Chains A and B, each alone.
Chain A
């Protein structure tokens, strides 16, 4: 099956700093989503981005499908950005609809 690797596994930032999280995947994809899991366990949709670039406030994401990677940018980080960020992909096999998750990047933003 498709493999998903995220880096770095852990990241500690000072409030106000910027960061880039990376997701590499091993095969072509129909779907790529970024999620934020808050400390209460809730998975929050950030981006649906199988290709191209999107922005939402302080967050933006870029997926280069031909090179099989995606980047999530967090600017001016806040303590509320803490949690685990997951990249999840759906392989391009017909009718799969299943998401394969990376192991996540645990982000800690300190005041």
Chain B
């Protein structure tokens, strides 16, 4: 498996501000993903972040609202911009480990709990 950490683990923010969430992996991985989990809901993919290319966003998510960086093979950031209470969610990063022997394909970080007031 991979050890994945996220910072911050939780935060309370005021509407109109922005928060950058960091995701760090203990080994080099090609594919990283960012998901959102709204309260009481399932996980929804925001974007795929591959090193060396622009992030690919899913329908309903735009770069201006959720800019993503992927400067190297072990690190990524997701920014939630101009926040509103509707952005209150858990944000999770995941990595795809396919191709590694005996590895299942995706592992998730511990998540960042965001509350927007």
Contacts and interface: CB of A to CB of B under 8 A. Distances in A.
Contact of A48 (B42, B44, B104, B111): B104
B interface, over-half SS? strand
A41 B90 contact: yes
Contacts of B98: 97
A35 B98 CA distance: 17
Contacts of A100: 45
A103 B42 contact: yes
Interface in B60-114: 90, 92, 94, 96, 98, 104-108, 110-111, 113
B89 to A, nearest CB: 11
Interface residues of B, number: 23
Contact of A101 (B42, B96, B113): B42
A97 B42 contact: no
Interface of B: 1, 31, 33, 37, 41-45, 48, 90, 92, 94, 96, 98, 104-108, 110-111, 113
Given A41-B90, A100-B45, 7 more contacts: A33-B106, A35-B108, A42-B110, A45-B104, A97-B31, A99-B106, A101-B42
